[in-house]
Chains A and B, each alone.
Chain A
Amino acid sequence: MIKFIVVEDNKTIQEKIKKLLVKISISLNQDYEAKYFEKYNKELQQEINDQTQRKVYIMDIELENSISGIEVAQKIRENDWDSEIIFVTSHDKMFETVHRNILEVFDFIEKFLDMDKRLEEDILKIINKKYDKKILKINGNNVELELHMKNILYIEKEDKKCIIHACDNEFKTSLTLEKLLELLDERFVRTHKSCIANKDRMVERNYSKGYFILDTGEKVELLSKKYKKEIEK
């Protein structure tokens, strides 16, 4: 059962969201729980603190009291990076891009422009989305590294270090491939004596030529027949 937290001071918009949630629930034949708030208060903070369940927050940016929706999102993100946040707003694009990235906001929806349609699409996307927030944590000498496992493409050994190839970046660590394999989940398999790869991100495997292709288009020539059984499991 999915839980919705709606924070909206405009009664009409709140009513619209209420009707929409009922509609989605009927169409998907899925139960849901919803709580409605007009502003940030103690009860809302209790909901934020309660992390027993993954939630979907639908919030306005400008709220009744001095605490804005962005500040509420910051409070949510203090500990909870699993829940989804959707903003119903009329703010400019730059504002959107920054917060979408920093606070991992799912979407910014303009209040008076196809709000119903877009919100419905977003909620359906969230419900159908494969929930995957598993993280790889490594401590360096002066830095803490946290990577979503879904964003890790493959890890290769180079000299005495391992290079973690993520979607946009590469990270060098002195941890061994064996240690990294222990820290990762079952989607990561050994493809070569000096490589671990994310099975979910592979689109093609060629054992005879010894390469695999990732969904990013990158061709990695580190595939050994020795590990075929384990990979194809």
Chain B
Amino acid sequence: MILEIIILTLLQISMIVAVEAFSDQKIKNIKLLIISIIIYDLLYYYLLKYIPAELNTIVSILYTTILIKILLKLNNKNLLFYMIIIWILGIMVDIGTMLAMNFTNVTSRITDLNKDFFKSISTIIMITFYFVCAHSKYIKSKILKLKRFTQKINISYYVFIALLIIYFTLGAVCLNEMNNIESIIFILFIAITCFIIFIIFIVQQFQIISLKESVHLLDKNSEFYIKLIDEYRILKHNLIGNLNGVKTVGNKKTKILIDDLIKEYSSILKLPKNFKEIPTGISGLIYEKIYSTNNKELKIKIENKLKHNIIEVLTARKYNLICEALSVTLDNALEATIKSKEKIIYLEFIEDEENIYFKIINTFTGNIDIDKLGTKNYTSKKYGHGLGLFSILIKKDITLATSIKDNKFINVVTVQK
């Protein structure tokens, strides 16, 4: 009994350590962890006494899940993913141990006396395996890849497949009882549900395809803009060279005119040096906005701290949402900053394990009603509609945090990966 509780405690710790490593989160409250494990041990001691063995496992899994959620502050989606991974890894080890025991003929030596010992072996191997997984960079990177992949799959796809399996299984089971009207109605019900889900699935797939198309178009536009910038720079360079050439053979008036032109061409639109490092698509959007503003005094600084290509990390829908949000916030930022003394726009793209953040800071001069900002129909622009910020704030998959620090407007758009 005591040995069993010790082993199960170790198993629980190893599971928490593994999830901690996979999710890149740190357990800050060690006291809570120790107290929870002691409570768990006491609970398990009573469970063993009074509750059937099948329920013990369910209670243990639920308890560990809740404990991991509290200790690591994971959201439900991530918690579910890591618990499934832990469960699959555990089953793999269990099956592996069973097979190894069968092959080595150990099972034949199991008696009632040493049954507990042999049962514990697979749990000890599982504990060791969880600790190894927690420290293996290779396994961690594979799990991260898998997490990104699963986040991209649509939920209706899973529901459709699950219902299809249920349908065929029930169909096979009830094949002999087709004369029973209740069975026929039940199978018909499952078939209609499958059909409806299938239609929803197809509609969603079409939506995804059209979104992917628009992302592809944005990507192409971005490439086009980068080419345009290069061509523009070459053209400007050559034009200034040619004008200088003409200047040497011109008269005084021509020289003055050419100097004016050179001055004009030399100072149009300064783009940041790292403009090409900005994620594709987004760079096109930023260029379009800045180009249409065409203000020589505008100072733009971009810090790109993204580790991945956002088109690969985000779903097409989220990518489009980000483009919408950036478009609105950039419009607002550009219009506000042009009226200010400093005329500064600072863009920062940051990424962590869970989210991608787009931070836009701009200087501004003007009047703002802090109670009405972001509400419907409120605008600080001369010809605005007051729908831009409002339309972002009501979106479910992205969040917008706005703050004002003296003469700086700070917008942070957050999207979950």
Contact check, A141 vs B301: say whether CB atoms are below 8 A apart: no
Contact check, A97 vs B369: say whether CB atoms are below 8 A apart: no
Contact check, B368 vs A170: say whether CB atoms are below 8 A apart: yes
Interface: A144 (CB within 8 A):
yes
Q: When chains A and B are docked, how far (Å) is the Cα of A115 from the Cα of B275?
A: 31
Interface: B340 (CB within 8 A):
yes
Residues of B within 8 A of A144 (CB): 402-404
Contact check, B374 vs A97: say whether CB atoms are below 8 A apart: no
Q: Name the interface residues of A151-209: CB closer than 8 Å to any CB of B.
A: 151, 161, 163, 166-174
Residue ID in chain B nearest A142 by CB atoms: B374
Contact indicator per residue, chain B 366-402, by CB within 8 Å of chain A (1) or not (0): 1111111111000000000000010001000000001
Chain A CB within 10 Å, residue with most, of B341, B363, B403: B403
Contact check, B368 vs A141: say whether CB atoms are below 8 A apart: no
Contact indicator per residue, chain B 332-374, by CB within 8 Å of chain A (1) or not (0): 0000000011101010000000000000010111111111111
Interface: B255 (CB within 8 A):
no
Contact check, A99 vs B301: say whether CB atoms are below 8 A apart: yes
Residues of A within 8 A of B404 (CB): 143-147, 171
Q: Which of A142, A161, A172 contacts B393 (CB 8 A)?
A: A142
Contact check, B342 vs A142: say whether CB atoms are below 8 A apart: no
Residue ID in chain B nearest A148 by CB atoms: B406
Residues of B within 8 A of A138 (CB): 370
Residues of B within 8 A of A113 (CB): none
Contact check, B299 vs A172: say whether CB atoms are below 8 A apart: no
In angstroms, how far is the closest chain B Cβ from the Cβ of A201?
A: 15
Residue ID in chain B nearest A96 by CB atoms: B299
Chain B CB within 10 Å, residue with most, of A143, A144, A145, A174: A143
Q: When chains A and B are docked, how far (Å) is the Cα of A168 from the Cα of B408?
A: 10
In angstroms, how far is the closest chain A Cβ from the Cβ of B89?
A: 33
Residue ID in chain B nearest A144 by CB atoms: B403
With A142-B373, A142-B374 known to touch, is A98 a contact of B301 (CB < 8 Å)? Answer: yes
Interface: B407 (CB within 8 A):
yes
Q: When chains A and B are docked, how far (Å) is the Cα of A170 from the Cα of B368?
A: 6
Contact check, A169 vs B344: say whether CB atoms are below 8 A apart: no
Contact check, A98 vs B344: say whether CB atoms are below 8 A apart: yes
Contact check, A101 vs B370: say whether CB atoms are below 8 A apart: no
Q: When chains A and B are docked, how far (Å) is the Cα of A145 from the Cα of B393?
A: 18
The contact size tier of chain B is 20 to 34
Interface: B69 (CB within 8 A):
no
Interface: A1 (CB within 8 A):
no
Interface: B247 (CB within 8 A):
no
Q: Name the interface residues of B94-149: CB closer than 8 Å to any CB of A.
A: none
Residues of A within 8 A of B375 (CB): 141-142
Residue ID in chain A nearest B373 by CB atoms: A143
Chain A CB within 10 Å, residue with most, of B341, B372, B374: B372
With A171-B368, A172-B370, A172-B371 known to touch, is A166 a contact of B299 (CB < 8 Å)? Answer: no
Contact check, B341 vs A169: say whether CB atoms are below 8 A apart: no
Q: When chains A and B are docked, how far (Å) is the Cα of A171 from the Cα of B409?
A: 13
Interface: B270 (CB within 8 A):
yes
Q: When chains A and B are docked, how far (Å) is the Cα of A99 from the Cα of B364?
A: 16
Q: When chains A and B are docked, how far (Å) is the Cα of A140 from the Cα of B375?
A: 11
Q: Which of B299, B340, B372, B406 contacts A147 (CB 8 A)?
A: B406
Contact indicator per residue, chain B 251-280, by CB within 8 Å of chain A (1) or not (0): 000000000000000000010000000000
Q: When chains A and B are docked, how far (Å) is the Cα of A94 from the Cα of B374?
A: 31
Residues of A within 8 A of B372 (CB): 140-141, 172
Contact check, A141 vs B363: say whether CB atoms are below 8 A apart: no
Interface: A102 (CB within 8 A):
yes
Contact check, B365 vs A101: say whether CB atoms are below 8 A apart: no
Interface: B308 (CB within 8 A):
no
Contact check, A141 vs B365: say whether CB atoms are below 8 A apart: no
Q: When chains A and B are docked, how far (Å) is the Cα of A141 from the Cα of B366?
A: 19
Interface: B405 (CB within 8 A):
yes
Q: When chains A and B are docked, how far (Å) is the Cα of A195 from the Cα of B296?
A: 40
Residue ID in chain A nearest B301 by CB atoms: A98
In angstroms, how far is the closest chain A Cβ from the Cβ of B347?
A: 10
Residues of A within 8 A of B270 (CB): 94
Contact check, B361 vs A142: say whether CB atoms are below 8 A apart: no
Contact check, B403 vs A143: say whether CB atoms are below 8 A apart: yes
Q: When chains A and B are docked, how far (Å) is the Cα of A97 from the Cα of B272?
A: 13
Q: When chains A and B are docked, how far (Å) is the Cα of A196 from the Cα of B365?
A: 22
A-B contact pairs, 26 of them (CB 8 A): A94-B270, A94-B301, A95-B301, A98-B299, A98-B301, A101-B363, A102-B344, A102-B361, A140-B370, A141-B371, A141-B374, A141-B375, A142-B393, A142-B402, A143-B374, A143-B402, A143-B404, A144-B402, A146-B403, A146-B406, A151-B406, A167-B406, A167-B407, A168-B365, A169-B368, A170-B367
Q: Given A146-B405, A172-B370, A172-B372, output 6 extra A-B contacts at Cβ < 8 Å.
A: A140-B371, A145-B370, A167-B407, A168-B341, A168-B365, A168-B407
The 10 A-B pairs at the shortest CB distance, nearest first, are namely: A142-B374, A140-B370, A98-B301, A172-B369, A144-B403, A170-B367, A143-B402, A168-B365, A168-B407, A102-B346
